[in-house]
Chain A
């Protein structure tokens, strides 16, 4: 990892670097090659375009994270001769609103209502590879891609009308899904275009990046609060999540897990399970799993053989109690402050911050249904990485990728936690052994234990203040958790901000906003310490160091709506206020929090939060509001309580009973101020709204108690 200089970080680079840190489960099941049986999956409609498989083989120029995008117009838009319109995208919806926003993007440019089109997401047998659904990339990456495709289809309709009517462009416009003559009565539909002789050839063309997109000022669908297209199915319980998928003859699987991380299976007797009716046992080296006609039967079978398993002891490994010392001891070179010799008599402040491991704990644990047909593998699963899942499956079973189809139904959330394919691979291995489709649903304990964690961090910060109370040098080191938002957005003369790798004791990976949350927590808490050292109000102190106009705007907006100037003077030892701001992935956030400290119970209640957020032109204010609400609540959980405890390779709090996540009584009064900037490109918004809440709470605690806050979860 290169040291980074001050300035706004390049999120894409750091995201890529970071995702590579996620350890894959690394299953490898050797298989004899079988003949390729090319088949198009269910769900494909009558189309005028190329069969989807045509775009499949071939390399991804930019890898998993970005994907190759749609190579042809037909890969993005299918027009049915029956009038159906299907838009395809390789993104997934885990509740963050991709389906809604991509539908809006297509509807806007096609000039149709959202209800007129079908959005087919993340079926690798049909949709283009739009990369992972991560890094807040759907909005800046795929929304424009879908708009270009839809606008290109609209252009074709106009040209088709011009040909048919022997007229020119100024005399044709597209309204409500039809090309109409401005001075006549004739009209042509997308279905008419689909029926035309030239359609197959036209849809094999690539999409020109120069196609004209609808300017923001003319938006009719984008920028409006469209609701989720499959909302009705959700409220009646009809919508099928990955764990709800059922296939004929399907069995239910269970996997034998080691008693601790690093333990190795040395012996097991599968006979007791094999003796059970309708039970399949798969024993392939370290992989032991059972499948049975229902979950209880599978659990009983697994319990019967688990008793016979012998394990080699795992290597000694650090526990959560010694985590931070361990990370610091194993950090790479580069902790020294290069500005130390310049301090002279200047006032300096130094602090160390600790951020523990936490889990994503999406409400739907990992789930996959796998089915083999004539050497073709189909897997339905919840993942943020459809094409990466296909690749992991292909590698595990030594198959060419075009014999694997991965379908991602909208699923029960991820928050950065579902980049990897272990559950899909496990289900596929079981289905292969059983000769029948298998559904594998991880338990909550498995999800808490065997899914990767948000990385723990040790953050070292040191700064010096000049005689006027301005920050003069800034040294900031993140150990282990990542480079996101490690650079300071404040205007400071001399800065060094770095990420140093360490030796993570747990398998870690992505999480909503990644290390930006830890880095912004440490930075913003440290800023309040510096403000106190300088004798300045936290707001004034920040404004004095803040040149970025977008960050200034959200900070001013949040503090005005919260009435910071008034509330800051009302603080006492039990009711207090704090603020924080930050930027990541091209969007900007500031939060003010009012808290109440209960000294008897040693707890913190967050009573009120005012958060301002700006991410360019707003695509869907309702969804953006949701992302802010959800991120604040999720951030509040990590700020106040969440912490994975582990010892001897075991997770000690692997349940919702022992790992408390936010509930109704945690919800503060929420005032969310969305700043719309139609003059700026839209940035993603699923992550950055999480980074300001924890330091705002910590700074309120500091104000009330006068004691530095040095760790999450925050203790009063």
Chain B
């Protein structure tokens, strides 16, 4: 049975009428055409699908659309300001911190999520979140450099 689900998506109210068991990832990508959030595994193991739900980093592949009713959701498309990239995006871009780039949106969301909760988060706090993410190209050392660049701005 379809259900009506209302939530705030990237700062704007959004309502979808759909099977509430569908994943948030699927609805974002297939119904709302926000494809910046990626499918990597469907089991919460790679976190390419990371979004912020109520300010928390969540794997959108394991989050049912029915469960986000009333929540605030932020995806990679909603991170940048009107005129400028988010500092985390800026840092990843400046470092060229990706190879294929498929995990990048998830990584950026992971860092954004940690810093949103604690703007003075330590490197180890950020890394304990990013430990959940997989980059198969092995760009981790570059990601770390980008993260350090961001953290340096906050100290």
Complex Cα spacing A234 to B80, Å: 13
Q: B71 an interface residue at 8 Å Cβ cutoff?
A: no
A656/B45 contact (C-beta < 8 A), A364-B102, A441-B39 known:
yes
Contact check, B22 vs A294: say whether CB atoms are below 8 A apart.
yes
16 additional A-B pairs beyond A97-B99, A235-B89, beta carbons within 8 Å, are A95-B100, A96-B99, A228-B98, A228-B101, A235-B92, A244-B35, A363-B102, A365-B39, A411-B100, A411-B102, A412-B101, A629-B142, A634-B138, A656-B41, A656-B46, A664-B140
Residues on the A chain within 8 Å of B67, using CB: none
Task: Report A627-642 CB contacts with B as 1/0, cut-off 8 Å.
Answer: 0011111100000000
Q: Which 10 A-B pairs have the closest CB atoms?
A: A237-B36, A95-B100, A633-B138, A412-B102, A237-B76, A95-B99, A244-B35, A656-B45, A630-B138, A234-B101
Contact check, B99 vs A413: say whether CB atoms are below 8 A apart.
yes
Q: B33 an interface residue at 8 Å Cβ cutoff?
A: yes
Residues on the B chain within 8 Å of A246, using CB: 33, 35
Residues on the A chain within 8 Å of B96, using CB: 227-228, 231, 622
Selected A-B contacts with CB under 8 Å, 30 pairs? A95-B100, A228-B96, A231-B101, A236-B89, A237-B36, A237-B77, A241-B35, A294-B30, A296-B22, A363-B38, A363-B100, A363-B134, A363-B137, A412-B102, A415-B136, A444-B40, A444-B43, A626-B137, A626-B142, A629-B140, A629-B141, A629-B142, A634-B136, A655-B45, A656-B40, A656-B43, A657-B45, A662-B140, A663-B131, A664-B143
Q: A185 an interface residue at 8 Å Cβ cutoff?
A: no
Q: B60 an interface residue at 8 Å Cβ cutoff?
A: no
Nearest Cβ in chain B — how far from A362, in angstroms?
Answer: 6
Closest chain A residue to B95, Cβ basis: A227
Contact check, A413 vs B138: say whether CB atoms are below 8 A apart.
no
Interface residues of A (CB under 8 A from B): 94-97, 227-228, 231-232, 234-241, 243-244, 246, 252, 294-297, 361-365, 410-413, 415, 441, 443-444, 622, 626, 629-634, 655-657, 661-667, 670
Q: B6 an interface residue at 8 Å Cβ cutoff?
A: no
Complex Cα spacing A441 to B26, Å: 12
Residues on the B chain within 8 Å of A252, using CB: 30
A413/B41 contact (C-beta < 8 A), A96-B99, A235-B92, A235-B104 known:
no
Q: B139 an interface residue at 8 Å Cβ cutoff?
A: yes
Contact check, B26 vs A364: say whether CB atoms are below 8 A apart.
no
Residues on the B chain within 8 Å of A411, using CB: 100, 102
A237/B140 contact (C-beta < 8 A), A296-B26, A364-B102, A441-B39 known:
no
Contact check, B134 vs A236: say whether CB atoms are below 8 A apart.
no
Residues on the B chain within 8 Å of A364, using CB: 38, 40, 100, 102
Residues on the B chain within 8 Å of A664, using CB: 127, 130-131, 133, 140, 143-144
Residues on the A chain within 8 Å of B19, using CB: 296-297
Closest chain A residue to B93, Cβ basis: A235
Complex Cα spacing A633 to B143, Å: 14
Contact check, B30 vs A295: say whether CB atoms are below 8 A apart.
yes
Which B62-100 residues have C-beta < 8 A from chain A?
Answer: 75-77, 79-80, 85, 89, 92-93, 96, 98-100
Q: B108 an interface residue at 8 Å Cβ cutoff?
A: yes
Task: Report B23-55 CB contacts with A as 1/0, cut-off 8 Å.
Answer: 100100111011111111111011010000000
Contact check, A363 vs B46: say whether CB atoms are below 8 A apart.
yes
Residues on the B chain within 8 Å of A228, using CB: 96, 98, 101
| Interface range for B | 35 or more
Contact check, B137 vs A630: say whether CB atoms are below 8 A apart.
yes
Complex Cα spacing A361 to B137, Å: 10
Closest chain B residue to A630, Cβ basis: B138
Q: B114 an interface residue at 8 Å Cβ cutoff?
A: no
Closest chain A residue to B138, Cβ basis: A633
Q: B151 an interface residue at 8 Å Cβ cutoff?
A: no
Contact check, B42 vs A443: say whether CB atoms are below 8 A apart.
yes
Residues on the A chain within 8 Å of B131, using CB: 663-665
Residues on the A chain within 8 Å of B30, using CB: 252, 294-295
Complex Cα spacing A362 to B33, Å: 23
Closest chain A residue to B91, Cβ basis: A235
Q: B135 an interface residue at 8 Å Cβ cutoff?
A: yes
Nearest Cβ in chain A — how far from B55, in angstroms?
Answer: 19
Complex Cα spacing A227 to B76, Å: 21
Q: Which of B18, B23, B135 has the most CB of A within 10 A?
A: B135
Complex Cα spacing A312 to B67, Å: 41
Partner of A633, one of B39, B45, B140: B140
Contact check, A235 vs B108: say whether CB atoms are below 8 A apart.
yes
Residues on the A chain within 8 Å of B89, using CB: 235-236
Q: B150 an interface residue at 8 Å Cβ cutoff?
A: no
Q: Which of B23, B30, B108 has the most CB of A within 10 A?
A: B30
A361/B136 contact (C-beta < 8 A), A235-B89, A412-B100, A412-B102 known:
yes
Complex Cα spacing A82 to B97, Å: 34
Q: Which of A97, A232, A361, A656 has the most CB of B within 10 A?
A: A656
Residues on the B chain within 8 Å of A361, using CB: 136
Nearest Cβ in chain A — how far from B112, in angstroms?
Answer: 11
Residues on the A chain within 8 Å of B80, using CB: 236
Residues on the B chain within 8 Å of A362, using CB: 100, 102, 136
Closest chain A residue to B135, Cβ basis: A363
Nearest Cβ in chain B — how far from A493, in angstroms?
Answer: 39
